[in-house]
Each structure stands twice: as C-alpha cells, then as structure tokens.
Amino acid sequence: MTAPHWSVHLPAGVDDADLAAGGSLPGAWNAAWAAAPDRAVVQTQDGVRLSAAQLAELTETAAGRYAAAGLAPGDRVLLSAPSSVDLILAYVGAVRAGLTVVPANTAYTSRELAHLVADAGPRLAVLDEPGRLAGLDVPATTPDLAGLPPGGAATLDAAAPDDLGLIVYTSGTTGLPKGAPLTHANLLATAHAVRLAWRWTPEDRLALALPLFHIHGLGVGLHGTLVTGASLVLAPRFDPAAVAGAVEERGATLFFGVPTMYHRLADSPHLAALGRLRLAVSGSAPLPAELHAALAAGSGQRVLERYGMTETGMLVSNPYDGERRPGTVGFPLPGVDVRLAPREGGTAEIEVRGPNVIAGYLNRPEASAEAFTGDGWFRTGDLGVLDDDGYLRISGRAKELIISGGYNVYPREVEEVLRDHPGVTDAAVVGAPSAEWGETVVAFVVPADGGGGASLERALTDWCAERLASYKRPRGWRWVAAIPRNALGKVLRHELKP
C-alpha cells in the first residue's frame, strides 16, 4: 500500500502533497495568519473571539514571558490543563519560542507526572493546579502564565524542521510511559496530510471538544486548524449540547471525536446536529459498525473513520470522496506507506513509514530498536487485513493494549500498582468490551489473605485512585486463587475471561 493509494485522498488537480510547506509549525501558522489577519481563528461558546492578528500578537507576548523566565529554544515545558483559550496561547507561544512541549493528561496523578518530569527534564510546568507537582523540583505556573515575568524578548519562529516540537508520552509494555519525540517536520506532515485528505479549507470551522494533551486534539485538531488558516470553536470539555451549539449557533462545519463521544451523541437529543456538518471524523479507537449505522440513521452523517498513533500521527483514512466503509480505516494518507508483515497464527502486523513517523523513543534505545524493522519500518503493534477493495481493517492487537475512551492502557502499569498493595499477592488486568468506552479495565486479583470481597475492592479502588489516571483504573474486580501463567511466567491473558 504505497504512493498510488494516496490518489483517493487528493483533491482534483493535486498530484503530490507538499507535506513540509512552511518548514515548521510557526512557519506554516504565520503564512496562514498573514493571508487573512482579520479572520477569526479561535472562538468559544461564551463569545470570546481571537483573530489571526490577535493570536499572533498574544502568542508573541507569551513567548516573551517564557524568555523572561530564562527559557531558551530547545528547553522543555510540561503542559497539563483543561482546554481553554489561555492554554492555546500558552502552547502556541511556547512553540513559537522554540520550546519543546511535553503535554500530559489532566487526569495524571503526581506519581504519573513524576515519571514525565524525570524522563523529559522540563524546565517549567504549565498546570491547571501547580500543586500537582508537589515534591518535584520544577517551577510551575498557570495557563495564563501570570506567574512568569513580563516583557522578555524571545527568538520567534526560528525552529528548523528537525527540531522537536512535542514529546508525547505513550504507555509501554515496560509499565512506564515512553516519550515519542515529534519534530516540526513530523507534525507538519500529519497536518498537511489531513488538510488535503479531508478537503480542509480556511472557510471551515472545527468544533473542538477533544483534550489538547492528546495527539488527536492537539496534533490534528489544533495544528490542522492553524496550518489551514481555518477557525475553531473551543469547548472546555465534551458535551453533546456543546457540540450541537457549536454547529447550530457558531456554524461549525467539522467535528472530530472518539467513539465514546459518538456513542453519547447517538444517545442524546442532539444527534441530528451532526447532519449539518461537512465532515465528522472518528479516531483513537475502533468505531463499531453498528454505531456508524446508528449515527447515519439518526443524522444522515456518514462518519469518516481514520487510524493513527502517537508515534506516527495520522496514517490511514477512509476517503472523503467515495465510500466510507464501516469497520475499516481506509487507505494510506499522503506521504504514508503501509505494509502487512506476516505473524504467527496467520495474522499480519501493520508496519508504516513516512515523514510523520518518529525516529525513536526518548532515552529508550532498546525500545527504539524493537519498534523498527531492519529496513526502517515502524511496527505499530496492530494487526490488520485488507478487504477485496484495498480498505484496511484493524483486526486485533499484537501488543497487550487496552483502549478505553480513546486512551491507551497497558496492563503492566496497572498490574504493578496493584501488586504494590500489601493486600495483593498477584494481579493481572484485561479489557472488557463496553458499548460506551470501547473497553474497560477488569482486574484479576490474588488476595494476600486468600479472601477478597467488598473491603479489599474499596481499598484497591482508593489505592489506584491515588496512583493512576481515571481511565487506567479497574472498573471490575475478580478474586482468583492464581493468575494463569506459562512456564516463563508470562500471563496467559486469553484464559482470563472478564
């Protein structure tokens, strides 16, 4: 699946995709802002409106605050806060100042943030609650940057294509999240690919309800909007009524969501609003075919499903023009090559390459070596098959990954937390199907005293709440005498029935 498949995504008259236009994120953003300085770029439901010229001015001010605080190009900033206009200004200002941003889930506990701090070494944290970094030697401020001195002179918009724009953490089979360093070239390749594939234009307006610590909301939603010179309506959190309001009151033409969001829209009185959109896109987890059908029946909108990863940005998409086939993720996006590598049991793993793919993990040479084949293809860990028309379908996962609400959960991290509790001798977790979340985490626990029951469940629930983000916490508990393992001690997860 190589270059000839790109044609299904390119508008008429476009023969090739310039996935490096602008050279860097600020280079592309500035070109779009200069083309239409009065165009509204960021709006909110409560009436905030920032034009391109205002966004450029305010983010220059933000960049100056970073410089006044002593930060220089290449330094790293941890960013973790709910979506807001201030957060966008803090983020864009950091990128324009040449800083590398380390986004973190707002649900992360101090324990989870401590690993990111130790691994990435940020010089500053921008947090909704600076107290989340209690005990860690990192200065912190809020998204309005009020804790930083004003008036600095920053070196603006000087990042090169190979400079790091983001380090996004993704959980790993070792139990600790791995940093995926994404260069400006990586991030531009994804933004331009979806701009072309989804016919994104400056006239479009995105209803953006995705969190800005995830590559879906940040690398696709925000970057795509700014690179295209389009606009967005920002919601602080997902709510079906807010999405409908963005469409019906603010003229949104695009909406990107995860299957859990679409499930809630389908169960709400606001589903019909999707029918007014030019395009609705689903990603981050498989969209069930029956949900695809329910959305179409209730709104007339045939949701376009795509496939990507933190380490690669966007890879594959159903076509804008042509059939959007339920249960598949479509064809490679511009710039992306995909192949299926045979694995045991007659399956095949999806391997990819392209300008959007990271070169390796931060501080993890062994994990980096394992992630790539000898000839340079990235191993996604997902299994796939092609149908007779060349559409790619994700058929399973080669890695022990649980996807809950669009977020990745690796069993080992949860298991290590459970095993640290004095009331637990052994533990293993698996994913249980969920109509709303895709999967939820179910824990199989060997109690230390041979018992279990409600008191241990309460104790473990509280234990996990202090140490794990909410989406990683077990929602079901099973008390067992032993965890099934093979001769090498590996958990036999197929024997654990949630």
pLDDT band at residue 378, thresholds of 50, 70 and 90?
very high
335 neighbors 357 (Cβ within 8 angstroms): no
19 neighbors 192 (Cβ within 8 angstroms): yes
Burial of 422 by CB count in 10 Å (0-12 exposed, 13-18 middle, 19+ buried)? exposed
Query: Looking at residue 173, what is its pLDDT?
Result: 47
Those residues whose C-beta lies under 8 Å from the C-beta of residue 157, and which sit 6 or more positions away, are 24, 26, 27, 30, 96
Interval 84-109: pLDDT, tens: 999 999 999 999 999 999 999 998 98
Highest mean pLDDT among 143-152, 218-227, 405-414: 218-227
* Percent of the chain's residues with pLDDT above 70: 95
Say how far apart CA 220 and CA 218 lie, in whole Å: 6
- Helix, coil or strand: residue 30: helix
Say how far apart CA 464 and CA 421 lie, in whole Å: 9
Q: Which fold has domain 402-495?
A: GMP Synthetase; Chain A, domain 3 (3.30.300)
Work out the mean pLDDT of the chain and round it to a whole number: 92
Give ranges for CATH 3.30.300.30 in the chain: 402-495
Say how far apart CA 278 and CA 445 lie, in whole Å: 48
Please say if the pLDDT value at position 400 is more than 80. no
Say how far apart CA 104 and CA 102 lie, in whole Å: 7
Query: Looking at residue 1, what is its pLDDT?
Result: 58
14 CA to centre of own chain: 29
Lowest mean pLDDT among 232-246, 250-264, 314-328, 333-347: 333-347
Instruction: Look up the CATH architecture of domain 3-386.
Output: 3-Layer(aba) Sandwich (3.40)
Burial of 207 by CB count in 10 Å (0-12 exposed, 13-18 middle, 19+ buried)? buried
Please say if the pLDDT value at position 177 is more than 70. yes
Query: Looking at residue 490, what is its pLDDT?
Result: 65
Helix (H) or strand (E) holding 447: strand 438-447
Give ranges for CATH 3.40.50.12780 in the chain: 3-386
Say how far apart CA 480 and CA 152 lie, in whole Å: 60
Query: Looking at residue 342, what is its pLDDT?
Result: 92
165 neighbors 79 (Cβ within 8 angstroms): no
Burial of 386 by CB count in 10 Å (0-12 exposed, 13-18 middle, 19+ buried)? middle
- Helix, coil or strand: residue 280: strand
Interval 16-68: pLDDT, tens: 568 999 999 999 999 999 999 999 999 998 889 999 999 999 999 999 999 99
283 neighbors 308 (Cβ within 8 angstroms): yes
pLDDT band at residue 171, thresholds of 50, 70 and 90?
low
